[in-house]
Structure 1
């Protein structure tokens, strides 16, 4: 019997601009090697603010992909830049539920998957999976990645209330809840003490070796830059709260004023931040325009190629995200370049770095700590002595390895359902 899994994911090609795309894309790409056919239920491309075809060829031929009706409330249902608030609860893509639930039912009737799998951070995906699970009785793996809520997240009280309801219903009804960090699992075990610990599973993020092979070919073609300053690159979104760069900018301004760094020694490149206007204002305010530059979004393989050729890579992760690890971190590790991590030393991000053999870590919320950590890092990196990820850590974090973990989880979840279906079929034969 062909084993199939219905994968409900908003982030999927042709969407661009989020590292979260890679988790679902690579799971769907490698699951056929685990004996599972992926049935992907995603959103219509019109819902994506940024789309492109650069990763469409990575969707495997075995995958069945359906793109259900979906709108972005802020772009499609707004009048003069304003829209009714309840049309964006739990998120701006709630209209996707209207198209995805009937589309999912049609896929279930036609292809008869053994398991439903849904993935956050779009809360509507969990709503869709909850509906399909309750309507069909299929086992459900909820790929939560990170906790859906925190004390002050989401910031809007009504949105936070809706999120908490979805989160509670997800944990209550799913067969297994998957998180990407040990800290996230601890958070949920504390938040829902009545739920057995066996309901939670850990599948971390990772990197894709095939993509890096392609990126390596691009990097090899690039001519080495002569006479440029030491280049430190942050690749990806910079959230004003969760990755607040203000202390970093303060530290750079102070070091510049002291004459310890200048544009000939250091260049910080912030690539595809998604908040360029906000950051440009801060860069101007602190007078660090010669040190810090903003760069636009580029194709995924080009971004990986840039990581491979950078002098060093920058991680930003605030203490209010101690139970999260940026998905980009695993690609940084694979790039085998020096890493400067500005994050809480007791958080999961710092723990993952130390486990990989990297100790160039400084607190993101301390100007003085960043000044000290940055200067130490520069001295090590310029001398060729900055620590790099161990080969063991790199190998353990591949997307193929993570998909193997998901394949084992699918087998475990599907077995009781398969036994129940077999029993029902036997009863019908007896009758």
Structure 2
């Protein structure tokens, strides 16, 4: 059985989508004769925690841990909400205080590539012994945080091994990167580190075709697209709501704010009394203030229900109960390659997906390919309204459902097989 060392920052009890990708890969690797060994921080700062993920860690999994020094300690004590937002990538661009601007500038220019950079050097020294002890010659690093890839780069320099760099998100092309108030020198440093990782890794894994195209301009190393996915036991089964519930699961961050959607729903509610009576807009997770303000301007306040963060198991139940599942992305070129992890669980829930995002959106292509919903851009108008009305009519008639196709290739087990083939 082949041993592989997986180096990751996010691991249970971390919550959110970042932890799930490798937790699920680890779950199925043994089925393909691969023995995973984990390396994670001993005392990480996780802005979101979900202890239910601890139940999914395979029994007997060997995990090595080493302490990490993070810069969020003192700011976290003094300004916990602002610190948690910044450490989790939630960056408000409007009405920033001097404190927020200062924290962003320090984060962007003093901690390159990110605030976990101090973990690199001690990890390399610690893992050099582990590689010999465990007789491991293949390592996988997964980012963000992209400083984890620097651990892989240094280990590659010291040892004769194969290194796979997994990018759950892009590096310099991701939307929030432009909000870090970087100096020109800091931007160049990020770009240099990105090229170094892409050129020195033996193989690269990305989660979207767009990211693959971007990276192909920077390296000639083999790049595989392995998306996120769903666990096969997630498929359907819950009783759907009696109301016309349109649900968004997960953080709804600044900029994911399609005014055309809110206007379409508002217009229908104003014109149709039955729709107005049945409508419910449910948000599971953090909702940015600019999104709420826009919905309130369109007089949708009476229909909005915000539940806050829930466990992953509860999120799955909410997905299966919703009449429609809402998938939103910022309207920009930088977000065309963003495929939210929840998309695949939406697909497995077998409820219609209402998606609004940028043109040429990779996530939109998957929805259309699998017949799991409808995709619109930020300029859509009458067609968006007509689809919502048609789905509401089907809801009233008891016929609102999805007949999807070929979603099995996005199961976590099938994706793990792809990963092993790439190994």
The bucket for the TM-score relative to the shorter chain is: 0.7 to 0.9
Give the SS at the match of 2:261. Answer: helix
Change (3 A) 1:62 1:389: farther
372 and 301 in structure 1: CA distance in 2 versus 1, 3 angstrom threshold: same
Q: Which is worse superposed, 95-104 or 133-142?
A: 95-104
Of 128, 132, 144, the residue aligned with 1:105 is 128
Using the alignment, how far apart are the partners of 2:70 and 2:264 within structure 1? 38
1:302 equivalent in alignment to 2:300? no
SS at structure 1 position matched to 2:52? coil
The Cα of 1:93 is off from its aligned counterpart by 2.5
Kindly state the Cα deviation for residue 62 of structure 1 after the two structures are TM-superposed.
Answer: 3.9
1:293 Cα offset (Å): 2.0
Deviations 1:39-81 (A, max 9, x none): 1112234411222421112111242112322244234466854
Which residue of 360, 364, 374 corresponds with 1:360? 374
Partner residue, 1:311:
323
> Partner residue of 1:137?
160
Partner of 1:177: 204
- The Cα offsets for residues 214-248 of structure 1, whole Å up to 9 and x where unpaired, read as x95xx47xxx76xx52001111122213x334443
Aligned to 1:290: 302
- Structure-2 residue corresponding to 1:165: 192
Asked if the contact 2:350–2:372 (Cα under 8 Å) also holds between the matched residues in 1, the reply is no
Provide the residue aligned with 1:88 in structure 2. Answer: 111
Name the TM-score, length of structure 1 as normaliser: 0.81
> What SS does the aligned partner of 1:116 have?
strand
Answer with 157-166 or 303-312: which moved more. Answer: 157-166
Contact 1:100 1:128 in 2 (8 A): yes
Q: Which residue of 1 aligns with 2:90?
A: none
Asked if 2 retains the 8 angstrom alpha-carbon contact of 1:339 and 1:388, the reply is no
- Whether 2:28 is the aligned partner of 1:15: answer no
- Runs of 5+ consecutive residues of structure 2 not aligned to the other structure: 80-98
Counterpart contact for 2:323–2:352, Cα < 8 Å? yes
- Mapped pair 1:342 → 2:342: no
Q: 1:73–1:88: 8 Å Cα contact kept in structure 2?
A: no
In 1, Cα distance between equivalents of 2:261 and 2:304: 11
Q: Assess, with a 3 A threshold, how the Cα gap between structure 1 residues 371 and 249 changes in structure 2: closer, same or farther.
A: same
Out of 210, 226, 236, the residue aligned to residue 203 of structure 1 is 226
Residue of structure 2 equivalent to 1:28: 26
In 2, the alpha carbon distance for the partners of 1:373 and 1:166 equals: 45
CA contact (8 A) 1:123 1:163 kept: no
Q: How far does residue 128 in structure 1 lie from its aligned partner after superposition? A: 1.7
| Superposition pairs of residues 12-411 of structure 1, within 5 angstroms | 12-16=11-15, 18-76=16-74, 80-81=78-79, 84-85=106-107, 86-150=109-173, 154-155=177-178, 156=180, 157-158=182-183, 160-189=187-216, 191-192=217-218, 195-196=219-220, 199-210=222-233, 212=234, 216=237, 219=238, 228-241=242-255, 243-259=256-272, 263-273=276-286, 275-277=287-289, 279-320=291-332, 321-364=335-378, 366=380, 370-384=384-398, 388-390=402-404, 392-410=405-423
Matches of 1:43 and 1:52, distance apart in 2? 17
- Structure 1 gap ranges (5+): 411-431
TM-score by length of 2: 0.83
Note the alpha carbon deviations across 1:247-278, whole angstroms, 9 max, x for none.
Answer: 433444444444577541211111113x4555
Shift of residue 172 of structure 1?
0.5
The answer to whether the 8 A contact 1:276-1:294 is kept is: no
Q: Distance in 1 between matches of 2:77 and 2:110?
A: 13
Paired residues of 1:15 and 1:45 also in contact (CA < 8 A): no
How has the CA–CA distance of structure 1 residues 39 and 246 changed in structure 2, closer, same or farther, with 3 Å as cutoff?
A: farther
**Does the 8 Å CA contact 2:253/2:288 hold for their aligned counterparts?**
no
CA distance 1:177–1:260, shift in 2 (3 Å)? farther
Is this contact kept in 1: 2:168–2:207, CA < 8 A? yes
Answer yes or no: is the 8 Å Cα contact 2:254–2:288 preserved in 1. Answer: no
Number of residue pairs matched by the alignment: 392
1:245/1:122 CA distance change after superposition, 3 Å: farther
Cα pair distance change 1:245/1:260, threshold 3 Å: farther
